[in-house]
Structure 1
Amino acid sequence: METSNTPHVPAPQVPVMTVERFSELSGLTPDTVRGQLNQGNLPLIKVGRRRLVNVALFTAECLQSEDWS
């Protein structure tokens, strides 16, 4: 049986999360996360007045990237 070279990445439990929760899980400050959202480096989705980090899209983009290995 062949083994895969791709890393095992657990799927996020939710497809989007608040800036504060993403900050806690990533180790970045909330201000840094907001800055990355403002610069377009992190995908976001707006739900009403709330801005949420689109973790599902971010994960897909990371796995499709060729420079992760």
Structure 2
Amino acid sequence: MEPSTTPLIPVTVPTMTIERFSELSGLDEGVIQGHIRRGYLPTVKMGRYRMINVALLTARCLSTEETQ
């Protein structure tokens, strides 16, 4: 049986507010908004709020790491 190549994604926090992502990453909210507009950060719309899709971001980072 082959080992799975599917990246493990943390299930506890699949999304995060822009404000919280700013606190944890150390980037200004304006910088994060720019990254979102350019498509660098994946987001999901929840009601009237736009949240950072941390699960998809993690998966992208892990898949990029594997190819390099």
> Do the aligned residues in 2 keep the contact of 1:12 with 1:55 (CA within 8 Å)?
no
Change (3 A) 1:12 1:21: farther
| Runs of 4 or more above 2 Å deviation | none
Amino acid at match of 1:16: T
SS of equivalent residue, structure 1 residue 42: coil
TM-score (norm 2): 0.77
RMSD of the TM alignment (CA)?
Answer: 1.7
Distance 2:12 2:41 in 1: 18
Give the fraction of aligned pairs with identical amino acids, expressed as a percent: 51
User: In structure 1, how many angstroms separate the alpha carbons of the residues matched to 2:11 and 2:26?
Assistant: 16
Task: Give the gaps of 5 or more residues in structure 1.
Answer: 1-10
Query: How far apart are 1:13 and its partner, in Å?
Result: 3.6
Q: In the aligned structure 2, how far is the partner of 1:18 from the partner of 1:64?
A: 24
Q: Which consecutive unaligned segments of at least 5 residues does structure 2 have?
A: 1-9
Q: How does 1:1-69 map to 2 (within 5 A)?
A: 11=10, 13-65=12-64, 66-67=67-68
TM-score computed with the length of structure 1 as normaliser:
0.76
Does 1 or 2 have the higher relative contact order (CA < 8 Å, sep 6+)? 2
How many pairs does the alignment contain?
A: 58
Deviation at 1:12, TM superposition (A): 7.0
